[in-house]
Amino acid sequence: MSLILWTMQLVIVPALSPLSIGIVRKIKAKFQNRIGASIFQPYRDLWKILHKDEVISEDASWIFKFAPYLIFSVTVILGASIPIFTAVFSENLLSDLLVMIYLIAFGTFFLALAGMDVGSAFGGFGSSREMTVAALTEGGLMFSLLALAFSGHSTNLFVIAGTVSSLPLLSLSPIFLAFGAFIIALLAETARFPFDNPATHLELTMIHEAMILEYSGKRLALIEWAAANKFLIFLALGANLFFPWGISLSTNLIDILFALAVFLIKILILCLFVAVLESSIAKFRFFRLPDLLFTSFILSMIAISLII
């Protein structure tokens, strides 16, 4: 049974991540009085790009060619190492809070390297901006999750999910503060508003898109799929670490199915939240972003001080 549950953990994130992107796009289209594409359009886009020919620059090194496979693999591993529908995998070594953060940073590092590798101007400034935002985001992300670690008396994500779900309601106010900090980090790490516009190709505003302009074909599909995986991973962390109610604490089939249903509902709510937020605000100027990221860090520190 454990092998089946682990296989489900491994498959769920790459299988559902394009759907989460499609849902956000559909909701945003409704707010803009448009019909919008189907929520399944990201699957069609990935299928189409996977079957296109690749064009690789003569100046590209092994980093440019290898990075998409590495980045995609990291997101799949992360998806199997976080609590999605059950908290029984507490012995997973990759489920440590710091290991997870370092794996996220590892993928970001290679994406930035790939953006600079061919020497294009767009890739260079996109990578520079990405590393600036990533460096400023790490503090807020790490300390928002550290607040949960203090509450759960463990750095294991599965243990945290199981412990926080049993806390009394009156002791959750610091966790809600930490969730506010985590949301800011989520938007920064997944290239959403107000940090980046995921639908733009304007050279003065794009960050993520600037780094992948040189990619095409299968490698481009893997990077886009990895970005969708990362988005769903952060949604799952927000849903099951800060609001872990409904997560299964056993391997009972009925509990697992119920936990899956609750997980999908929580992800849908968070997708709605992200879509409403992106429809309500404009992209910030780049030099305003550190102020917002510093706010994330301050909220995390307040949450930790309240818990300690």
Task: List, as one string, the DSSP characters of 187-242.
Answer: HHHTT-TTT--TT---TTT-SHHHHTTT--HHHHHHHHHHHHHHHHHHHHHHHHHS
The pLDDT of residue 242: 92
DSSP assignment, residue 119? -
Q: What is the signed CA dihedral for 121, 127, 128, 131, rounded to 10 degrees?
A: 180
Instruction: For residue range 155-167, list pLDDT tens digits in order.
Output: 889 889 888 888 8
Distance between CA 110 and CA 210 in Å, rounded?
Answer: 14
Contact yes or no for 68/219 (Cβ under 8 A): yes
State how many domains the chain has.
Answer: 1
The pLDDT of residue 204: 62
Distance between CA 74 and CA 286 in Å, rounded?
Answer: 28
Mean pLDDT by 10 residues, the chain (308 residues): 79 95 94 91 95 88 94 94 82 83 93 89 86 91 92 88 81 89 94 81 71 91 95 95 86 86 95 93 85 93 89
Instruction: For residue range 88-124, list pLDDT tens digits in order.
Output: 776 677 788 999 999 999 999 999 999 999 888 888 8
Distance between CA 183 and CA 177 in Å, rounded?
Answer: 10
Tokens (6 digits) for 268: 């849908």
In degrees, to the nearest 5, what angle opens at C-alpha 123 toward C-alphas 122 and 125? 70
Contact yes or no for 151/174 (Cβ under 8 A): yes
Domain residues for the domain of 303 are 2-307
